[in-house]
Amino acid sequence: MEKLRVMLIDHRPDRSSEIAEGLERSGCQVIARTAGGPDLAREVAGVRPDVIIIDLESPDRDTLEGMQRLSDALPRPIVMFVDETDRDAIRTAVRAGVAAYVVKGASAERVRPVLDVAIARFEEHQALKDELHQVKSTLEERKITERAKGLLMKRRGMTEQEAYAALRKLAMDQNLKLSAVARRVLDMADVL
Amino acid sequence: MRSLAGGAGRPARAEVNVGFVALSDCAPLVIARERGFFRRHGLRVVLHREPSWANIRDKLAAGVLDAAQALAPMLLASRLGLDGLALPLIAPLSLGLNGNAITVSAALFREMARLDPESVLRRPMTARALCAVIEARRRSGRPPLRFAVVFPFSPHYYELAYWLGAAGIDVTRDVEVRVVPPAAVPRSLRDGEIDGLCVGEPWNHVTVDQGLGRSVISKHEIWNNSPDKVLALTEEWADRHPERLQALLRGVLEAQAWLDRPENRREAAHVIAGESWVDAPVEVVAASLEGRFRIDRDASVAQPDFHVFHRYAAGFPWTSHAAWFLSQMLRWGQIEKPIPVRRVAASVVRPDLFREAAEALDMAAPTIDGKTEGLHDRAWRLDDASQPLTLGPDRFFDGRRFDPEDVAGYLEQFEVTRLHVRLDDLALMDA
């Protein structure tokens, strides 16, 4: 039997490679790995996977849902959990932070083990790294935002509130996270 | 007996996990939490911001969320199994009316104005100018226009389709529609990935503010005081926790009433603009909340009903609203078999649960479940209510009427449709 062709959408590249490795080891072929984005529908159409595995933090889930019903021309991915009638199974996948989409044609029985592997991998990754990572990065992000605010207050004579508002406006305009904008502001400290 | 606050015997407040999406109309949930309306009814509500509507649905199914802000048609689609899940979700309350708009790129608007300068000045604007653009593009062999919506089963999609359809444009053939997450909409428009969009605030405002597009019509103008988001729960959770559910509904209802006092809208903007909620500049969120519909970088039109949370019985979950969504799902071929429209609507929408909460707060509630839509072009008095109620205009911009008792007859009127079911089969099934 031919190997199942899997597309993996994960916004975190560090995790993505680990998950892909696990999937490959379990006998399927990871034909595409992406962080998602505006081209996703086209990528799916180009790659023609049997299964799509996607992390739940990705806003691109709705794009996949849209492919089901808004276009006849594109492949139609249908969301699948291990067993649709079994709420515990849905819970396991959701708690692990992963969902699977079956693209028309692939049989649910063949997809099930793939999702199981993905769930296990996501869980493992989460348990080992997520918490630490989260705590660290939140702290880090907060620190960076505070420093950027301080910089604006000092160099631009802004109040704390004004500095925060300025950062947030930049973040909104550029469609970036607050901490990313703060980092840029710090990077440009010399120019400011 | 309840002991004094802080005492050892103090009953623990029940924790309820509620999901939301970062849009201006998450306001009733955020205000209910931030202004203590949930607390007052004995609940500790944890709000979870979700990056997709699919997550909202799946987390409700998984029991990770107990309740959530959801697109009204999502529940109908799931009930019918169109999403592959067939979840028994219910909507005991509408989170508000209106709140969306259609925006086109600056370039597309210039083309519309060039080809049909008269129609783009009218309010509400028709899609006649777009029709001319589509024709011109077809003749010159250019690709079809691309529009973004937020979910396949969304008010946004049906509004866009309805507005286009009235001008003779078939949303399934004459344009391309794709789902783009709201936050990615400005960038997609800038990069030319899309030519237009139908999304909720603050994303139209953000797009216009950056000079990327022009808002052509609001949801309120397409269908006055039309339904959009609901509070969704699984039937199972509602059955298992009837008291928590009622407390939740009372908290949201009070927040909705608070939100519709005009003097509170500015404060509401400050609250929901916060980093944990919509995470946007206050001014961007405030505009539509204060009834200013920004259509261009330097032009706004007054639309005091752009967001309605409480007046006109905005929280009441009308079966006729659900039936209209089902009619559009049929019209555009998303439902491929005849269905008992009224029965499906009544299985999802639960006015009985709403009335119980309203009564406990001594708030007026309709005593009928559905009504004919499109009959009123101004506010009107509903006597079929626990106390007389003022309802808002419910006019469709093309003047049509929707009788939920005769969906087949309604669908027969439309020239542009992609029906997959025979209307006499539908009439029989829905009898």
If residue B247 lies in a helix (H) or strand (E), which one and from where to where? helix B242-259
pLDDT of A48-98, one tens digit each?
A: 899 999 999 999 999 999 987 776 666 778 787 655 556 677 788 888 899
Q: Do the beta carbons of residue A167 and residue A152 sit within 8 Å?
A: yes
pLDDT of B162-180, one tens digit each?
A: 999 999 999 999 999 999 9
Integer angstrom CA distances of residue B185 from A19, B105, B226, B283: 30, 11, 23, 19
Yes or no: domain A132-187 corresponds to CATH 1.10.10.10: yes
CB atoms inside a 10 Å sphere around CB A123: 17
**Residue B324 falls inside a structural domain:** yes
Mean pLDDT of chain B, nearest integer: 95
Cα B98-B101-B105 angle, rounded to 5 deg = 175
B350 and B242 together in one domain: yes
Could you tell me where the beta strands, DSSP code E, fall in B145-212? 146-149, 176-179, 196-200
Q: For position A86, what pLDDT does the model report?
A: 62
Range of the domain at B148: 100-222
CB atoms inside a 10 Å sphere around CB B132: 17
**Distance of alpha carbon B50 from alpha carbon B65, whole angstroms:** 11
Q: Half-sphere exposure of A114 toward its Cβ, with a 13 Å CA cutoff?
A: 29
Q: For position A132, what pLDDT does the model report?
A: 67
- Virtual torsion, Cα B419, B424, B426, B431, nearest 10 deg: 160
| Minimal CA separation from B63 to chain A, in Å | 7
**Residue B293 falls inside a structural domain:** no
**Residue B28 falls inside a structural domain:** yes
| Minimal CA separation from B209 to chain A, in Å | 9
Q: For position A71, what pLDDT does the model report?
A: 67
Q: For position A77, what pLDDT does the model report?
A: 81
Q: Which residue has the higher pLDDT, B355 or B4?
A: B355
pLDDT of B27-70, one tens digit each?
A: 999 999 999 999 999 999 999 999 999 999 999 999 999 999 99
B194 and B233 together in one domain: no
ipTM of the predicted structure? 0.91
pLDDT of A125-183, one tens digit each?
A: 777 666 666 777 777 888 888 899 998 998 888 998 899 999 988 888 877 888 888 88
Q: What would the CATH number be for the domain defined by A5-130?
A: 3.40.190
Residue B334 reports pLDDT greater than 70: yes
Computed over its alpha carbons, how large is the radius of gyration of chain A? Answer: 21
Residue B259 reports pLDDT greater than 90: yes
- In 3-state terms, chain B is what percent helix, strand and coil (to 5)? 40, 20, 40
Taking any CB pair shorter than 8 Å as contact, residues of chain A touching chain B are: 37-38, 41, 56-71, 78-81, 84, 87, 90-91, 93-95, 99, 165, 168-169, 172-173, 175, 178
Closest CA to B68 of B219, B201, B237, B198: B237
Q: Do the beta carbons of residue A14 and residue A122 sit within 8 Å?
A: no
Q: Using the beta-carbon criterion (under 8 Å), do A178 and B334 form an inter-chain contact?
A: no
Q: What is the CATH number of the domain that holds B349?
A: 3.40.190.10
Map out the domains of chain A as residue ranges: 5-130, 132-187
DSSP symbol at B26: G
**Distance of alpha carbon B264 from alpha carbon B269, whole angstroms:** 9
**Residue B287 falls inside a structural domain:** no
B255 and B108 together in one domain: no
B233 and B215 together in one domain: no
Q: Do the beta carbons of residue B373 and residue B320 sit within 8 Å?
A: yes
DSSP string over B119-151 = GGGSSS--SHHHHHHHHHHHHTTPPPPEEEES-
B402 and B255 together in one domain: yes
* Boundary (domain end) residue, out of B222, B247, B269: B222
Among B152, B191, B284, select the one facing A69 at the smallest CB separation: B152
B385 and B354 together in one domain: yes
